[in-house]
Structure formats: structure tokens, C-alpha cells
């Protein structure tokens, strides 16, 4: 019988959606292969036909597990949770699970898509926004989105987003904070966001998922 194929993550070092999945893989202690997809080189390798065959949306990450190809990082986090339940990245109770998914959604569905590379490129290239206006756009959506997350975290948070074990919401939070820092957003009022991010950054498995620790980091 052929050996099982290794889990493979198509990832870009600075992609926060890829970072979410790297965090989950590492928190679960799973072995996986990274296949870098450079979002800028060659006009964007995410748009190459070979990659579009994996993910027709032309976005990273993509997760391949044997014959299964998964797109959308939130779907990957849920898939990993179902396939490899321990350690759990979702709490046991339905209300806790709903809260975690709501925080993850507030980040992955409400903040991130507005500030994606292709959106920023469109603002500048097609709509003629200046660099300054592009940054104002970026900061507005990040700061207002994280301000809502800060309030959501104020209700029932422990060392991490939900209790004292890191989970799916944390996999979304830290990469978004990384992006916010990269674009010099003002995070000064976000006490809970920063406290939890610091707790996450203290974990080895999380540090190994960080952009600067990726094989394709520049």
C-alpha cells in the first residue's frame, strides 16, 4: 500500500490567511509540507494555471490532504479540527463554539477581505487612489474591525480568545494583528487584542507559524 500523502499547505510567508492555517497545524502538532506560492513574483503565482486548478479563486492558502483539496482558511481550520480533534481548537459547549466562530468571522469575513492584496491593487490601479488614501482605507477597516473584536473579547475571555487554550479564533486574531502592525495601524487602545496576541506569541508552536520563520520568508 502506498504511504499516505503528506499534508501540504500552499502558503505565502506573509499571507495572514496562510498564517492562520500554519498556526492550527502547529498547535495540533501535525507534520506538513509547505509549498510556497509567491503572491508578487511572476505577476502573482496564485494566478498561474497550475495553482488555479487547486484553488480557482486564485488565493492562498490551499490545503491538500491526499485526494482532498480544501480552499478557504476557515474551512481548513474546521477540517483539521474534525480530522484531528486533539488538541481541540473549539470548545466543547455550543455557546462557546458559536462565540469562537463569531470572533473568527469578525476577522476573517469582515476585516481581512477588505484589505486583501487584490483589493488594494484595485484601489490604486483602477480607481487611482494615492498611496496615502490606500493606507487610510487599510487602517480604517482594520482599526474599526479590531475595535469590534476588542469588545467581543471583553466578554468571557481567558488567556486566549476563549478560555485558557488557544483555538480557531486565536488562529485568526494573531495574523490580523501581524497585518495591522505591518501597516502601522493604531492598536494602542486594544488591550485584550494585544494581551492575547502576546500570550500567543509566547508559544513555540505559534512562533514557528510566524511569517519570518517560513521557508519562503524574504
Grid cell, residue 111, equals 476585516
Q: Which residues bind ligand GSH (CB under 6 A)?
A: 15-17, 39, 44, 46, 59-60, 72-74, 108, 116-118
* Closer CB to ligand GSH, 197 or 199, in the complex: 197
* Shortest separation between residue 100's beta carbon and ligand GSH, angstroms: 16
* Closer CB to ligand GSH, 40 or 202, in the complex: 40
What's the half-sphere exposure (Cβ side, CA atoms, 13 Å) at 100? Answer: 26
Nearest residue to 61 via CA among 214, 218, 177 = 214
Report which secondary-structure segment, H or E, holds 65.
strand 62-65
Those residues with Cβ within 8 angstroms of residue 200's Cβ, 6 or more apart along the chain or in another chain: 160, 166, 170, 173, 174, 206
* Closer CB to ligand GSH, 87 or 113, in the complex: 113
d(CA 130, CA 2): 54
d(CA 44, CA 40): 4
* Shortest separation between residue 195's beta carbon and ligand GSH, angstroms: 25
d(CA 14, CA 111): 16
131-146 burial: b if 16+ Cβ within 10 Å, else e? eeebeebbbebbbebb
Nearest residue to 77 via CA among 143, 24, 138 = 24
Grid cell, residue 167, equals 483555538
- Radius of gyration from C-alpha coordinates of the chain: 17
* Closer CB to ligand GSH, 8 or 116, in the complex: 116
* Closer CB to ligand GSH, 116 or 205, in the complex: 116
* Closer CB to ligand GSH, 162 or 176, in the complex: 176
Amino acid at each position: 500500500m502506498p504511504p499516505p500523502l503528506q499534508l501540504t499547505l500552499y502558503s505565502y510567508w506573509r499571507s495572514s490567511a496562510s498564517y492562520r492555517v500554519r498556526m492550527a497545524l502547529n498547535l495540533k502538532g501535525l507534520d506538513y509540507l509547505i509549498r510556497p506560492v509567491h503572491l508578487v513574483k511572476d505577476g502573482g503565482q496564485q494566478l498561474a494555471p497550475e495553482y488555479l486548478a487547486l484553488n480557482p479563486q486564485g488565493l492562498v492558502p490551499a490545503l491538500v490532504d491526499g485526494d482532498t483539496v480544501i480552499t478557504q482558511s476557515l474551512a481548513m481550520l474546521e477540517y483539521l479540527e474534525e480530522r484531528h480533534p486533539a488538541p481541540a481548537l473549539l470548545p466543547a459547549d455550543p455557546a462557546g463554539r458559536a462565540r469562537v466562530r463569531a470572533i473568527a468571522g469578525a476577522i476573517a469575513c469582515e476585516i481581512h477581505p477588505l484589505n486583501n492584496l487584490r483589493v488594494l491593487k484595485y484601489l490604486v490601479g483602477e480607481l487611482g487612489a494615492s498611496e496615502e488614501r490606500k493606507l487610510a482605507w487599510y487602517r480604517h477597516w482594520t482599526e474599526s474591525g479590531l475595535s469590534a473584536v476588542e469588545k467581543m473579547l471583553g466578554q468571557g475571555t481567558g488567556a486566549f480568545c476563549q478560555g485558557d487554550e488557544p483555538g480557531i479564533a486565536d488562529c485568526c486574531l494573531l495574523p490580523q494583528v501581524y497585518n495591522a502592525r505591518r501597516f502601522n495601524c493604531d492598536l494602542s487602545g486594544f488591550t485584550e487584542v494585544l494581551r492575547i496576541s502576546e500570550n500567543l506569541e509566547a508559544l513555540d508552536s505559534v512562533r514557528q507559524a510566524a511569517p519570518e520563520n517560513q521557508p519562503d520568508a524574504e
